[in-house]
Amino acid sequence: TWFRDGNMEKYKDPSYGLLISIGKEKGDKLLDNLNRTHVDTYKEFMELKQWLISAKGTEHHIEIIGLDTCDELFPIFEAEVIRKYNVEEKPSKLCTSIKAAYGGYNRGVEETANMVKNYMADLDKAGFTLWAIAHTKYKNIKQKGDMTDGYMQLTSNLPANYEAILGDIFDMTLTGIIDREFDEEEIDIGNGKKNTKRYTTAAFRSLYFR
């Protein structure tokens, strides 16, 4: 919704934006004024990028591209890294895990991160503005050398390597939060006892800079 609203605010025309729903992410069908497409595979990603760049200004005038969501994007690129490794390196035993690709030690993850970074860099160089959407979760953050149990932080649900490259690529990283206001009410539960019930009276959607 935010992607759609941002595009309409700037261009007043849905055809200037393109929301790419990825993999199992398909929650945009009820939105009006939204130009959309869907990709499931790495091959489709590459074909779409080629068309976006080569047909810019002739077959389309798309300016803003939204990737929905990164949770679905990275596994598709991981699958391509594993495929490439099995074809190019010809290991004695076929690799099935991104952590085992290219000899392990996180090299498969690093290759995936670089491929995603290069993909987005190509679109950026072609003049597109990129948005990427990810889901959130609470993570326990513990700094190096910290002797405490650390602290909880609401951030993306992506692994640290992938979250870090998105911080490199994008001008802004924002975390969406729903802030709620509560009220309390004493409920008589019998035998002279009361129970306190909390219920929401208002909710505010906010975006915080990382």
H/E/C letters for each residue in the chain?
A: CHHHHHHHHHHCCHHHEEEEEECCCCCCCCCCCCCEEEECCHHHHHHHHHHHHHCECCCECCCEEEEECHHHHHHHHHHHHHHHHHHHCCCCCCCCCCCCHHHCCCHHHHHHHHHHHHHHHHHHHCCCEEEEECCEEEEEECCCCCCCCCEEEEEECCCHHHHHHHHHHCCCCEEEEEEEEEEEEEEEEECCEEEEEEEEEEEEEEEEEC
**Could you tell me the pTM of the whole model?**
0.85
Tokens representing 176 are 């969406």
- What's the CA gap between 7 and 14, in Å, rounded? 7
Among residues 208, 76, 78, 72, the alpha carbon closest in space to that of 135 is found at: 72
Q: Looking at residue 85, what is its pLDDT? A: 94
- What's the CA gap between 7 and 63, in Å, rounded? 9
Whether the upstream peptide bond of residue 200 has omega within 30° of 0, thus cis, is no
Query: b vs e for 79-110, b when ≥16 Cβ sit within 10 Å of the residue's Cβ?
Result: ebbbebbeeeeeeeeebeebebbbeeeebbbe
Start-to-end CA span in the chain (Å): 21
Per-residue pLDDT of the chain (210 residues; tens, 9 = 90+): 999 999 999 999 999 999 999 999 888 889 999 999 999 999 999 999 999 999 999 999 999 999 999 999 999 999 999 999 999 988 888 999 999 999 888 899 999 999 999 999 999 999 999 999 999 888 888 877 888 888 888 888 898 889 888 888 899 999 988 889 999 988 888 887 888 888 999 999 999 987
Q: HSE on the CB side for 50, CA within 13 Å?
A: 6
Q: Are 199 and 185 in contact (CB under 8 A)?
A: yes
Among residues 36, 8, 34, the alpha carbon closest in space to that of 20 is found at: 36
Work out whether strand 136-141 and strand 64-68 pair parallel, antiparallel, or are unpaired: unpaired
Among residues 45, 199, 67, 57, the alpha carbon closest in space to that of 130 is found at: 67
